[in-house]
Structure 1
């Protein structure tokens, strides 16, 4: 509980001229990481820290977008313990050996619809009783 109160007090660092709050980036990121844990209610966490839940959701969305655009720094990228390592660049196969992105689809011609050969059978006509009653009423 002390940690939450400490975060709440560190979150707002000032106020802009129009009355909006200015937030500390470190405290904001800590609040976002707290919300990303499983089972944590974003709305409840926002209200406990005097932040609008919609604002917190925007911060979380922006946080996800920033993490997706930043390059992943790991041993596969050629940097280990802060020391660059020379890694061979992967060779891309030639364009001729690649399969095309679109494959043409050929359809077989459709057979003409079958026409009945015998006398045509008439289907019984279903008439609603109310329409018959209206037609009889108009005749009167």
Structure 2
């Protein structure tokens, strides 16, 4: 039976992540490829790539890999048919916490961008004399 998916180099190109980073995520169990080729190459499904893109979106907001792992497990719990109602409630609360933190972190980033834009404007107003 043929195994389908994208090889790690293709995923690295598609996501803007390095091969080293993708291997590290696999080692940590944050994102593991869904399959392997007959030759042992990692094969990533579309779902795996979406998970990697989710991580890429969280990293600039300074979420740690540990926090990202907790979040991804919560997402998996909500999608699971085997999870108990208590587990799903806990997962929902974790996701709500991440949503709240994301809003706070986004506001801090917006402030930093505004400061950077102000500074650039000030730099542009300096005389060009050297």
Structure with bigger gyration radius = 1
* TM-score (norm. length: structure 1): 0.27
**Greater fraction helix:** 2
